[in-house]
Amino acid sequence: METYVKDGKSGIYGRFISKNDLYETVMRDEPFYRQQGQESGLAALPGGVTYSGGEALLQADSLSPLFQRLKMEGVHQCVETSLFISSNQLELAMKFIDLFYVDIKILDKERCKSILHGKLEQYLANVKVLFETKKPVIFRMPIIGGYTDREENIRAVVEFIKQYPPIKVELIKEHNLGQSKYKSLGKTPLDLHTVTDDFMEKVKREIQTATNTITKVCKV
């Protein structure tokens, strides 16, 4: 939780919630979880619960009772993750999570550490485990000007996807939607406006052609 100041008023982003309250909130939408898609592939999956963040799997131990309870009730569970987590946290999540949305950001060890404060070795080891256990994975790559859009990074991503072919790849164009929140927290937002639609389509074609993987540009 973090304190913010906006329009002269202060408040707190986030709140604590008990496991039981979280379960009851989640199960309000239970009828939607039981609906089965009428198409094939991902569209055939039922509704379900998606854990997002931040990094939800950093709280895997705390969430495990909810993971297990929903698994026993047959609720499909998905997580959006950077995979900068411990092997123990991943192992716990894999017991219950049905679908993994995995970020691909920077595949250079030094830049990953300096920009993302992440350990590339940890990320690669976790990806390897996911694919060895045949868990369904969708890769999601934010295209951020000056960070993930470098040609050497795009080439590394293409080779990476060849090694670990996912269900599909989603490309997300940079945006400035978080500017007001950053300012309310006293932080300086990145000024992002360098990635064009044409560049997004270029990256899409490169990945799709080289890896034969379904690749989609997602609009925010």
Got the DSSP string for 158-199?
HHHHHHS--SEEEEEE---TTHHHHHHTT-PPP------HHH
For the beta carbon of residue 86, count every other beta carbon within 10 angstroms: 13
Token pair in block for residue 69: 């309870």
Contacts of 19 (CB under 8 A, 6+ apart): 62, 65, 66
- The reported pLDDT for the residue numbered 37 is 62
Token pair in block for residue 31: 């009828």
- The reported pLDDT for the residue numbered 11 is 87
- The reported pLDDT for the residue numbered 181 is 78
pLDDT at 189 over 80: no
**Cα dihedral 177, 179, 185, 190 sign:** positive
Whether 137 contacts 167, CB under 8 Å: yes
Tell me the mean pLDDT in the region 10-18: 84
The answer to whether residue 208 is domain-embedded is yes
Tell me the mean pLDDT in the region 194-208: 94
pLDDT band for position 40 (cuts 50, 70, 90): low
How many Å apart are CA 156 and CA 158, to the nearest integer? 5
- Least Cα distance to 83 among 104, 64, 99 occurs for 104
pLDDT band for position 162 (cuts 50, 70, 90): very high
Pairing, β 76-81 against β 2-6 = unpaired
Domain limits for position 96: 48-218
Tell me the mean pLDDT in the region 146-164: 96
The answer to whether residue 18 is domain-embedded is no
The answer to whether residue 30 is domain-embedded is no
Domain count, the chain: 1
Q: How many CA atoms lie within 13 A of 146 on its CB side?
A: 6
Beta strands in the chain (DSSP E): 2-6, 9-13, 48-51, 76-81, 99-103, 137-143, 168-173, 215-218
The answer to whether residue 146 is domain-embedded is yes
Tell me the mean pLDDT in the region 4-33: 87
- The model carries a pTM of 0.89
The answer to whether residue 11 is domain-embedded is no
137 φ, ψ to 5°? -130, 135
Q: Which CATH number belongs to the domain containing residue 189 in this structure?
A: 3.20.20.70
Three-state SS at 106: coil
Tell me the mean pLDDT in the region 61-65: 93
